Amino acid sequence: MYKKNIKRRLEEIGFPILFFVTILATWEIFVMIFSIPEYLLPKPTKIISEIILNFNSLLRHTIITMIEVIFGFLIGNVLGFLGAVIFAHSKTIEKGLYPYAIALKTTPILAIAPLLVLWFGTGMISKIVAAAIVCFFPILVNTVKGLKNIDDEYLDLLRSFSASKYQIFTKLRLPNSLPYIFSALKISTGLAVVGAIVGEFVGAKEGIGFVILISTYHLETATMFAAIIMSALGGILFFYFISLIERKIIFWQKTKNSF
């Protein structure tokens, strides 16, 4: 059993690494054979060199972006969860406000970002709000589904013991909705990164989005790729952090991927 677990772990780690190295090697050879200019597609070795040479600067901008991501993630998901609890207990409010939630979801964050910069300035707040907006809808939809998707037999059992609405919520609805909630949270990790970076595109003086924008203007494609890789690494670490929390909290059942 122990050997099987080690083998499975090695496969989980080894296959992605092997696939990644293969892509980089193919990319390097492709650029060399076809003599592609560096401003169009730099070699992976050039990008890695750029990351090493400017690591401190890239790390500082990545930390700034991830701070915006984390705060936006927390605010958006807390508000979305509270909205879902209200929707699950009031059909009138749900019918009245749900269309506006859909409208918010279907409006591109790129269209909203200039307004956020106008209202909140070019500092962190506008990026946090952008990240919060894109995180709001997934948690709202998934939590409502989890809170409502209750087995009638369990609900009748609790009611037969004269359980209050609070007890039904804490003992039945909330535990049942946790897999749905964490499914949305994992989706939101990536969305929050996108929201923050889009906000930085519109107006910022620091952050990964700012680095990408400036390097694009100067045709410094290697720097742009380096910034993209740093943001991707930040998003991946954030995703696995939420996954780790999920495994610790939802230990009694498999996660339901509902969104």
For 42-249, which CATH superfamily applies? MetI-like (1.10.3720.10)
Contacts of 112 (CB under 8 A, 6+ apart): 130, 133
In the block, which residue shows the tokens 């080894």?
14
**C-beta contacts of 218-224 below 8 A and 24+ residues apart:** 219/39, 221/38, 221/39, 221/40, 221/41, 221/42, 222/38, 222/42, 222/46, 222/47, 222/49, 222/50, 223/50, 223/54
Please report the sign of the dihedral spanned by the C-alpha atoms of residue 119, residue 79, residue 74, residue 112.
negative
Quick one: average pLDDT of 153-161? 79
Q: List pLDDT tens digits, range 34-45.
A: 888 988 899 999
Domain ranges of the chain: 1-36, 42-249
Q: List pLDDT tens digits, range 39-90.
A: 889 999 999 999 999 999 999 999 999 999 999 999 999 999 999 999 988 8
* 7 compared with 145, residue with greater pLDDT: 145
- Beta strand spans in 59-118 (E): none
Q: List pLDDT tens digits, range 81-126.
A: 999 999 988 888 888 888 888 888 888 888 899 999 899 988 899 9
